Amino acid sequence: MIREIIIVDGGSADDTLQLTEAAIVVNAPAGRGGQLRAGIAVASGDFLLLLHADTRLGANWPEAVAAANPDMAGYFRLRLNSPRRLARMIERVVALRCWILTLPYGDQGLLISQALLTQIGGMPDLPLMEDVALVRRLKGRLRPLPADATTSAEKYERDGWLRRPLRNLLCLALYFAGFPPEKIGKIYG
């Protein structure tokens, strides 16, 4: 089922590159949108499964992906890798945001066909908010997938379970107000 694994390294200092035996490694400058664009540029499959480095898909993800529709993009249910009750609360708030606004973030993963991505103008080359820009382009062509994406809770643990979501909300509001993503990145941290 998996045709290729592409890892885009923006200058990591951890052991990521030692874990890449079966992967194509692409080097790109730091900045999520540019890194995603670099990976997409070398991808040969009809579908792309875009994941952050700290995200792991649940065991049933292959079944969810197998039912992919080339005219629709899909995102996974967010789970945080923390046992804390605050993590469950964040997950519920994210599920509500996705249900009401159809606004998943990149840490939920995104499944999209190359054809649909091309049709909507490709991956935005933004250092931050690339996921929001992409999802907004997908108007009405995005659906939840019946599988989990478990993401690191490190930012919540480090920055605070209330401060981190509030900071994310501020960054989103600034983006919608037209502030440049480069400046928002300084607030995002």
> Per-residue confidence at 148, pLDDT binned at 50, 70, 90?
very high
pTM passes above 0.95 = no
39: CATH: 3.90.550.10
**Lowest-pLDDT range, 3-7, 13-17, 72-76?**
13-17
Residue 141 forms part of a structural domain: yes
Which residue segment(s) compose the domain that 51 sits in? Answer: 5-150
Closest CA to 149 of 35, 67, 65, 43: 65
Q: What is the per-residue pLDDT for 26?
A: 84
pLDDT value, residue 2: 62
3-state SS string over the chain?
A: CCCCEEEEECCCCCCHHHHCCCEEEEECCCCHHHHHHHHHHHCCCCEEEECCCCEEECCCHHHHHHCCCCCCEEEEEEEECCCCHHHHHHHHHHHHHHHHHCCCCHHHCEEEEHHHHHHCCCCCCCCCCHHHHHHHHCCCCEEEEEEEEEECCHHHHHHCCCHHHHHHHHHHHHHHCCCCHHHHHHHHC
Determine, yes or no, domain membership for 173: no
Q: Which residue has the tokens 């249900």?
A: 99
Assigned domain for 51 exists: yes
Q: Number of folded domains in the chain?
A: 1
Q: Which of 17-31, 45-59, 160-174 has the lowest mean pLDDT?
A: 17-31
* pLDDT score at 84: 97
Range from 9-23, 112-126, 138-152 carrying the lowest mean pLDDT: 9-23
**Among candidates 177, 158, 159, which has minimal Cα distance to 167?**
159
pLDDT (0 to 100) of residue 109: 95
- With 70 as the cut, is the pLDDT of residue 19 above it? no
- Tell me the average pLDDT across 7-32: 76
110 belongs to a structural domain: yes
Q: Is residue 159 part of a domain?
A: no
User: How many angstroms separate the first and last alpha carbons of the chain?
Assistant: 36
User: Is residue 182 assigned to a domain?
Assistant: no
Mean pLDDT of the chain: 91
pLDDT confidence band for 115 (50 / 70 / 90): very high
Q: Is the pLDDT of residue 1 over 70?
A: no
Q: Is residue 38 in some structural domain?
A: yes
Q: Determine, yes or no, domain membership for 114.
A: yes
pLDDT at 44 over 80: yes
pLDDT computed for residue 96 by the predictor = 97
pLDDT for 3: 76
- Cα atoms found within 13 Å of the Cα of residue 176, Cβ hemisphere only: 9
